[in-house]
Amino acid sequence: MRILNPSAVAVTSIIALAVVASSGFAASQAAAAETQAPAADPAAPSVTTATYGSWTLRCIAADKEGQTKQAAAATNDGKSAKTCEVIQTVQVQGQAQPVAQVALGHVGTDPVLVMTAVLPSNISIPGSVRVVTDFKEGSDNKAGFDMAWTRCAGGACFATAKPDADSLTKMRSAKTGSIAFIDAAGRTLAVPLSWAGLTQALNALDVQQ
């Protein structure tokens, strides 16, 4: 099964994609990016990135007329022209497509962090995604939280959660974690995550808010 190509949503907030109500918008964005060459557009959003360990801070900025629909929909007044999030893309050697993408950011002016996972579309429903905040071999790895599936579009499925303070503390202090889900065949698939650089990335995200 195909995972959503991150280059297909180069000017799209992963957090916003998971919370915007219209699934058709995400699907059309992915399809358009795959089939059309980008055209020069003075009002097109500009993207800036900064890397912190395993995490990338990505900010999407546009003027009021050229801002992304997600940015407008995720704010109270529809006037905000900048959205930022920290992202980790997990890839397997020999595979061009990512196995998973995980993002942390804010929805509009809400100070609470939202985590969004982009995973394969061959998922089991009903079900959930389990994030282990401090993964250790041989441990029961119970510390963590569940993410709820929200929607599927563009060849991928989205899950979201609002990690509590304890989970965020563990993520900031631990070295590794994992994200697991049950696929359509009933198998539990686990994807390793690295927390390296997360504290610095979240600090930089706070500066952008």
Comparing CA positions, the residue from 113, 142, 145, 143 lying closest to residue 129 is 145
Residue 113 tokens, joined: 């962090």
User: pLDDT by residue (tens digit) across 73-94?
Assistant: 444 454 446 889 999 999 877 7
- 34/66 Cα distance (integer angstroms): 21
- Domains of the chain, earliest start first: 6-208 (2.60.40.1880)
Mean pLDDT of the chain: 76
- Full-prediction pTM beyond 0.85? no
For the residues 56-65, what does the mean pLDDT come to?
78
What's the chain's length in residues? 209
Residue 85, burial from CB neighbour count under 10 angstroms (0-12, 13-18, 19+): buried
Residue 133 tokens, joined: 């905040």
Q: How far is CA 149 from CA 49, 58, 88, 167, 204, in A?
A: 27, 23, 19, 19, 28
In this predicted structure, what is the pLDDT of residue 95? 77
Give the pLDDT band of residue 6 (cuts 50, 70, 90).
very low
Give the pLDDT band of residue 197 (cuts 50, 70, 90).
very high
For the residues 55-82, what does the mean pLDDT come to?
63
User: pLDDT by residue (tens digit) across 147-193?
Assistant: 999 989 888 999 999 999 999 999 999 999 999 999 888 898 889 99
Give the pLDDT band of residue 202 (cuts 50, 70, 90).
very high
User: pLDDT by residue (tens digit) across 102-139?
Assistant: 999 998 888 899 999 999 888 888 888 999 998 777 66
